[in-house]
């Protein structure tokens, strides 16, 4: 539809890619300031990202944001209860959401 309305879709896609790359660069810099980089740092972060996506609902940007917030709050509360229990609390919330609502908290809209 955008192409039919004479919108330069290649330009819009380019702008969207530039904004997303800029956001990723800022996130990477912020992560580098607060933690160290090593070859084994990736898998734990990927597990948290996977859990956030599943909690929120696959295909839903706002659901992923909500899932990340829920996961972070659960880990913070778990760490307050027991310093070594933060990660466990996050995993337990993930398992609870997966058991009770496998499609996630927010369903993605399907394209018609």
Burial environment of residue 89 by CB neighbours within 10 A (0 to 12, 13 to 18, 19 or more): buried
pLDDT tens digit sequence for 63-110: 899 999 999 999 999 999 998 888 999 999 999 999 999 888 887 665
CA atoms of 5 and 41, how far apart (whole Å): 46
Residue 112 clears pLDDT 70, i.e. is over it? no
Place of tokens 């734990």: 44
Give residues with Cβ within 8 angstroms of 59, minimum separation 6: 108
> Is the dihedral angle over the CA atoms 56, 60, 66, 68 positive or is it negative?
positive
CB 89 within 8 A of CB 75: yes
Please give the model's pTM, rounded to 2 decimal places.
0.68
Q: Smallest Cα–Cα separation from 76: which of 87, 64, 60, 61?
A: 87
């Amino acid at each position: 539809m955008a192409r039919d309305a004479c919108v330069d879709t290649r330009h819009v896609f380019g702008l969207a890619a530039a904004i997303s790359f800029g956001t990723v660069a800022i996130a990477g810099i912020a992560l580098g300031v607060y933690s160290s980089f090593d070859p084994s740092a990736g898998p734990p972060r990927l597990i948290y990202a996977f859990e956030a996506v599943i909690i929120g609902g696959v295909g839903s940007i706002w659901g992923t944001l909500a899932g990340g917030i829920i996961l972070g709050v659960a880990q913070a509360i778990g760490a307050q209860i027991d310093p070594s229990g933060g990660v466990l609390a996050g995993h337990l919330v993930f398992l609870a959401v997966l058991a009770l609502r496998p499609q996630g908290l927010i369903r993605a809209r399907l394209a018609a």
